[in-house]
Structure 1
């Protein structure tokens, strides 16, 4: 069954921190594009919502997914992690058959 992606509380909390730091209320856009070392890659950036975006919202923070990317992110989890290599938004995607070491590229 295709379910929309889920956003963790940590990811929403980090978005709130970014809004506080920048003084701007931007949404987090998560998109899938062709390319990368495994065939597809994630494009994660701050953006404004478009008319046909799926909007995932909590406590005034929003994560956006466009209609083209949505099937690739079915049942995925959008999270925020702080590791030795740095702090970043990450995607745990059950649709990805394989992914590369950097975690931003995957294949289906």
Structure 2
């Protein structure tokens, strides 16, 4: 089950409020040294999308990503002056050293 922390929901809600789009799309693309990376995008269309959460923010992904989203948690963290979204996936076989990309 895909989960989102309160901190992440607050930040995603703020991003949507500042844009014309209505939904958050989580994309998975080949990237980084370990193979794949999660991307957060704004979108207006949920056609052919899997709905991961509906409240307080609707988060969707491509239906083909369903197996890769099962135990993922999305958080928004602050480390010193740096703030960022962090995806935690216990089912990933490996991650790169910086935690940006993962392998299934």
Q: State the TM-score, normalized to the length of structure 1.
A: 0.79
The unaligned stretches of length 5 or more in structure 1 are none
1:19 corresponding residue in structure 2? 16
Structure 1 Cα separation of the partners of residues 45 and 83 of structure 2: 24
Deviation at 1:24, TM superposition (A): 3.2
Deviation at 1:25, TM superposition (A): 4.6
Name the CA shift for 1:23/1:42 in 2 (closer, same or farther; >3 Å).
closer
The alignment status of 1:44 with 2:33, answered yes or no, reads no
2:84 corresponding residue in structure 1? 88
Structure 1 Cα separation of the partners of residues 96 and 84 of structure 2: 16
Deviation at 1:52, TM superposition (A): 2.0
- RMSD of aligned alpha carbons: 1.9
Q: Which whole-Å deviations, capped at 9, do the CAs of 1:48-100 have from their partners, x for residues lacking one? A: 233121221213x2111211222112111111112236212111101112111
1:72 corresponding residue in structure 2? 68
Q: State the TM-score, normalized to the length of structure 2.
A: 0.81
Structure 2 Cα separation of the partners of residues 16 and 43 of structure 1: 16
Name the CA shift for 1:92/1:85 in 2 (closer, same or farther; >3 Å).
farther
2:103 corresponding residue in structure 1? 107
2:6 corresponding residue in structure 1? 9
The total of aligned residue pairs comes to 103
The unaligned stretches of length 5 or more in structure 2 are none
